[in-house]
Amino acid sequence: LAALAAAATARAQPDPRLAVAVAALASAQETANNAPPTPAADAAPTPKQEAPERTYKRGDKVDVRYKGGDKYFPGRVVGGNNQRGYDVNYDDGEREVGVQAALVRLVESFQGGEDPFVAKAEAERANPSLFKGDVVEASKKGHKEYLPGKVRGGPWDDGTYDVDFDDGSRENRLPTAKIRKVQPVPPVPPKEPAPPQEATPKSEETR
């Protein structure tokens, strides 16, 4: 009977090893609850937002990579937008349409006021630098070489001129930057005839 009582008393007392295990489990659970969440391995990376392309407006002074080349040329935007591209008048008289914004860099933003293209055209019309029939050398659109010709018409509303070339071709609405007037060569005056020389009388024959 005493042995049974001792065994029952031993079972009633808590096992210290069990208490240690329970405390360790509780500490691990608290640590897990306070830890930051671990991102899923297959989570997609956040897409990088690209900066929007710069937009340009009529009158802006720009440098442009002509026909997509590596070299920049100065000019002005005359129209267009980022969707269809920009129209550019180059300082050397060339013109390009549909230029992508990536090929353009801003030099000076047009701040408003008098439109530079309208002002230039009005000045040319008010005081023309060329007239119909003038002998000129002009560069065709898309070319650098100057060829001889004559002014056929102008100045038009945009300050340009039409030119007939000596080779039979013609160009319409060329800007003044692609035309240079040829100064006429003054005619050489005819030489005055030399005064007639008096005939030397023949000496009398000796007899």
State pTM to two decimals. Answer: 0.53
For residue 168, give the 3-state DSSP assignment. coil
pLDDT at 98: 93
The pLDDT of residue 62 is 95
- CA torsion sign for 60, 64, 67, 68 is negative
pLDDT tens string 98-125: 999 999 999 999 887 777 777 788 888 8
Query: 3-state DSSP helix/strand/coil percent for the chain, to nearest 5?
Result: 25, 30, 50
What would the pLDDT profile of 151-166 be if each residue is shown by its tens digit?
Answer: 999 998 888 899 999 9
In sequence order, what E strands does 91-196 have?
95-99, 104-108, 135-139, 146-153, 161-165, 170-174, 179-181
First to last CA, the chain: 206
Name the residue among 64, 139, 133 with its Cα closest to residue 103.
Answer: 64
Name the H helices within 107-178.
116-126
pLDDT at 74: 94
- The position carrying tokens 């550019």 is 88
For the chain, which ranges sit under pLDDT 50? 4-5, 207
* pLDDT attached to residue 122: 82
Return the pLDDT at 4.
47
Q: Are 21 and 14 contacting, i.e. CB atoms less than 8 angstroms apart?
A: no
pLDDT of residue 158: 81
Which residue intervals of the chain are DSSP H helices?
2-12, 16-34, 116-126
